[in-house]
Structure 1
Amino acid sequence: MALTTTRTSTRPVLVLGGTGTTGRRVARRLAAAGCPVRVGSRRADPPFSWEDPSGWERVLDGARAAYVCFAPDLAVPGAPEVVASLARAARAASVERLVLLSGRGEEEAERAEREVRAVDPATTVVRSSFFLQNLDEGLLAPEVAAGLLRLPPGGVREPFVDVEDVADVAAAALLDDRHAGEAYEVTGPELLSFADLAAGLSAALGREVRYERVDPGAWAAALAAQGLPPEVVDLLRYLFTEVLDGRGERLGDGVQRALGRPPRPFAEYARRAAAGGAWG
């Protein structure tokens, strides 16, 4: 499934999750490179839904390559089977390249990688650590704005990654043959605890952001009280306890290998987000 003339092709690249955290950034980079883009989302035309395989053929038809970002997360039970089905549909539609967003330390994500590569060995895997953008675009943004970050992990450290780097690697993999078959562990350049993040956010904002460790059960109950569905609460508890248990306390070299430059540091992200008014 190797591509030969990616940048000049008139066939679009399909970006699944094209309005999400990584997808919209990948789509912007492809468009800036002069690559036709087809956004895959529920509101697109034709619409795309992971729950409705009957619509996949229309979305895949004519696409040259596809960025595969499963929602809500590859850690969800059954996700590997779904993305493998999508890979088979892509192969049947003559899609020439897949780039799969995966997660470090997630058993179901690792199984999804194997399932997709069994269909297409040339798939590029972008295996990412926890996104820094969870602090300003996701679940944790209100807490950072309020100055108190409350989560289950203790002193465990994680090489949090700037999503801009994830998008850079994914876009490069969609545009350049040399990334076919690669697996890139995409992380930030430093190991940081949540207390370290709070300290860095305090410096960037010029006001205190504290970190407080909370009991996982109490945290999950608080999420449920906010109205989050049980399956989402279960997923978040898994990600912030089992996955953040120290298994990810190592740096990956994916950004350097894919792009020939080091990943963006946390301090740069924090300054940029603060200057953009992310937390008021």
Structure 2
Amino acid sequence: MTQTDAKHVHSPVLVIGGTGKTGRRVVARLRALGVETRAASRSGETPFDWTDPSTWKAALDGVAAVYIVPLDASPSPTPAFVEQAVASGVRRLVLLSARGVNVPGYFGSPDYDGGPHVQGEEAVRASGVEWTILRPGWFAQNFTEGVFLDEVRGGSLTLPVGDGEAAYIDAEDIAAVAVAALTEEGHEGEEYELSGPRALGVADVLDEIAKASGVRASYVPTEEAAFREGLVAQGMSEVEAALWTAALDPIRTSREAALKDGVQRALGRPPRDLADVVRDAAAEGAWG
């Protein structure tokens, strides 16, 4: 798509979570195409707060398409937001969901089935406008700018995932698929399962980081109960610690290892490898 074409397709676009891992990348790609874009967040240029519905109307005013990064809370506010978006004239919705939310027991317990991501998916499907759902697995960027970064910098990463593997997805690939769905035709009604091109254990990821950066961190496997107790000792609530541990279960069981074709189907090319992601991050000084 040319910049001239993109300016006239489903514009302006509202990007919820416009300062987050995928949101800021979506904003950058849309603006590079010349698409009028609103980056929405609590502290962003377009004020938006999931917990304050009074902020939604102004953010949605005149918007043609929305990239939705949902609030991970139950009950989900996404259905109410979708209803308001459609009422305001939005014609296209692209929802960031998560891998496995449509698979009973994916997170190791039926207690997590039918959660906020499922509620969001149901809402966009029933919206009556064009929609696309993205279901990425674990982000490669969790090691370069996210939850694992500090431990990697500190020399060891402790996780309760044993020898489990995951096909970590590049957040840039998620953003590229989102932008295609927001600006192009042919993605309506698609549910894109997104993964990287190969499955890796945590030790494998740390080896890739060491090769790219010279920073070597060791992987320290631990039991789930000990991991939860450690999180609580650091100040996390029992509920939050249990949720975080459950989120890691698909890696422990290698449910995240299966390769998915969403990037290829959406973009006509294979996904980027984690080695490419860590090489870029090393060049930017991610690990010092």
2:203 aligns with 195
**TM-score, length-normalised on structure 2?**
0.87
Mapped to 2, the partners of 1:124 and 1:190 lie a distance apart of 25
Mapped to 2, the partners of 1:66 and 1:243 lie a distance apart of 30
1:152 and 2:160 are equivalent in the alignment: yes
Deviation at 1:229, TM superposition (A): 5.0
1:212 and 2:207 are equivalent in the alignment: no
1:257 aligns with 265
2:51 aligns with 51
Mapped to 2, the partners of 1:271 and 1:44 lie a distance apart of 29
Note closer, same or farther for the CA distance 1:191–1:36 as it changes in structure 2 (3 Å cut): same
Q: Is the 8 A contact 2:251 2:257 kept in 1?
A: no
The answer for unaligned runs of 5 or more in structure 1 is: none
SS at match of 2:186: helix
Out of 174, 179, 188, the residue aligned to residue 187 of structure 2 is: 179
Deviates more, 1:229-238 or 1:201-210: 229-238
Mapped to 1, the partners of 2:46 and 2:256 lie a distance apart of 38
Mapped to 1, the partners of 2:211 and 2:251 lie a distance apart of 28
C-alpha offsets along residues 227-263 of structure 1, whole Å, 9 cap, x if unaligned?
Answer: 3455543331221125753333311101111111110
Mapped to 2, the partners of 1:197 and 1:77 lie a distance apart of 32
Deviates more, 1:117-126 or 1:156-165: 117-126
- Percent identity between matched residues is 42
1:115 and 2:123 are equivalent in the alignment: yes
Deviation at 1:143, TM superposition (A): 0.9
Amino acid at match of 2:32: A
C-alpha offsets along residues 34-55 of structure 1, whole Å, 9 cap, x if unaligned?
Answer: 0011111112455211111222
Q: Is the 8 A contact 2:10 2:92 kept in 1?
A: no
Mapped to 2, the partners of 1:120 and 1:224 lie a distance apart of 43
1:77 aligns with 74
Amino acid at match of 2:255: R
1:222 aligns with 230
1:26 aligns with 26
Note closer, same or farther for the CA distance 1:121–1:60 as it changes in structure 2 (3 Å cut): closer
Q: Figure out how many residues of one structure are paired with residues of the other and give that number.
A: 271
Deviation at 1:56, TM superposition (A): 1.2
1:245 and 2:253 are equivalent in the alignment: yes
C-alpha offsets along residues 177-228 of structure 1, whole Å, 9 cap, x if unaligned?
Answer: 2111111111100011112112222222224221111122222232233334
Structure 1 outlier segments of 4+, above 4 Å: none
Q: Is the 8 A contact 2:134 2:193 kept in 1?
A: yes
2:286 aligns with 278
**TM-score, length-normalised on structure 1?**
0.90
SS at match of 1:248: helix
The answer for unaligned runs of 5 or more in structure 2 is: 102-112
Deviation at 1:93, TM superposition (A): 0.6
Aligned CA-pair RMSD: 2.0
SS at match of 2:94: strand
Mapped to 2, the partners of 1:122 and 1:103 lie a distance apart of 19
1:91 aligns with 86
Mapped to 2, the partners of 1:207 and 1:139 lie a distance apart of 17
Amino acid at match of 1:98: L
Deviation at 1:110, TM superposition (A): 3.5
Note closer, same or farther for the CA distance 1:243–1:60 as it changes in structure 2 (3 Å cut): farther
